[in-house]
């Protein structure tokens, strides 16, 4: 049985790490270098670093920044934000990223997924699907850090990107983001049931039980979280110990 991963998410905006609620990211939480060093000591399985304004501002990824902190990151690192070309991916991998995350580009240039898979392998492609649930219960994919509707159903989009060669899906509920009230188990289950690649549940973790629930009930292969680690005393290591005690296979150092 594959081990379930616990993955902190770092959101980058205007030269600092931030976090908010419902993709309204306004609260500053410190420097990326400090966060990376702390997580190195807390037995995280991976880290996800997302530049949330690069696409909206029409910028390329900050390759120099990634190069700087990747040297101090001793766990697999996924980097996203502003990636639009195969050359962007190549430069990020050279800078120290182990995987790249596509979001907006997966909608507007889905062929890029195939190009990356053919050139670097599916294992380095994480497609990020941000979705909202409307008042009538309909689910819809959003791009540009949750500001533009893509007019697509999350499950249909997940199937398409999996068929094109994506290695994993980072599935984030915009409604639940930052609320610490639990993951969207319903949509996680729908996507996980529709594809054969790992689904990382994201958006809403406020307790270790929330993580357990989305794994058992939502069939998530991994859990991503931010607020729970930034604003409470709960830690990635303790979350893995909790999951282990409840029968979930996690990676723990002896």
**Residue 250 domain flag:** no
Give the integer Cα–Cα distance in Å for 51 and 98: 16
Q: What is the mean pLDDT of residues 118-128?
A: 97
What pLDDT, on the 0 to 100 scale, is given for residue 145? 81
Tell me the average pLDDT of the chain. Answer: 92
Which residues sit opposite 197 in a β-bridge? none
Question: How many other β-carbons are positioned within 10 Å of the β-carbon of residue 76?
Answer: 15
**Residue 254 domain flag:** no
**Which pLDDT tens digit goes with each residue over 170-209?**
999 999 998 999 999 999 999 999 999 999 999 999 999 9
Cα dist. 105→38, 41, 110, 143 in Å? 31, 33, 7, 9
Give the integer Cα–Cα distance in Å for 166 and 59: 23
**Which pLDDT tens digit goes with each residue over 245-254?**
999 999 987 5
**Residue 237 domain flag:** yes
Which residues sit opposite 30 in a β-bridge? 17
**Which pLDDT tens digit goes with each residue over 135-161?**
888 899 999 888 888 999 999 999 999
Give the integer Cα–Cα distance in Å for 25 and 41: 26
Q: Report the CATH number at residue 142.
A: 3.20.20.70
Q: What is the CA radius of gyration of the chain?
A: 17
Give the integer Cα–Cα distance in Å for 198 and 8: 17
Question: How many other β-carbons are positioned within 10 Å of the β-carbon of residue 42?
Answer: 16
**Residue 251 domain flag:** no
**Residue 42 domain flag:** yes
Its domain, for residue 190, covers 5-245
Q: How confident is the model at residue 13 (pLDDT cuts 50, 70, 90)?
A: confident
Give the integer Cα–Cα distance in Å for 181 and 156: 26
* Structural domains in the chain (count): 1
Which residues sit opposite 8 in a β-bridge? 225
**Residue 228 domain flag:** yes
């Amino acid at each position: 049985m594959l081990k379930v991963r616990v993955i902190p998410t770092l959101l980058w905006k205007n030269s600092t790490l931030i976090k908010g609620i419902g993709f309204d990211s306004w609260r500053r939480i410190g420097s990326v270098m400090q966060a990376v060093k702390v997580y190195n000591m807390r037995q995280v399985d991976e880290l996800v670093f997302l530049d949330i304004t690069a696409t909206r501002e029409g910028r390329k990824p900050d390759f120099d920044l990634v190069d700087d902190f990747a040297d101090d990151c001793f766990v697999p690192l996924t980097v996203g934000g502003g990636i639009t070309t195969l050359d962007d991916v190549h430069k990020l991998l050279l800078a120290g990223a182990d995987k790249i995350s596509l979001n907006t580009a997966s909608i507007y240039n889905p062929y890029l997924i195939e190009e990356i898979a053919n050139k670097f392998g599916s294992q380095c492609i994480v497609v990020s699907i941000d979705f909202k649930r409307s008042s009538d219960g309909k689910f819809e994919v959003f791009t540009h850090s949750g500001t533009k509707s893509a007019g697509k159903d999350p499950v249909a989009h997940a199937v398409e990107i999996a068929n094109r060669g994506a290695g994993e899906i980072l599935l984030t509920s915009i409604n639940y983001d930052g609320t610490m009230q639990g993951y969207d188990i319903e949509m996680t289950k729908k996507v996980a049931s529709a594809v054969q690649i790992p689904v990382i549940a994201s958006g809403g973790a406020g307790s270790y039980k929330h993580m357990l629930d989305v794994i058992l009930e939502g069939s998530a292969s991994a859990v991503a979280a931010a607020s729970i680690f930034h604003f409470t005393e709960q830690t990635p290591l303790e979350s893995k110990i909790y999951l282990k005690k409840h029968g979930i296979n996690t990676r723990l150092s002896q």
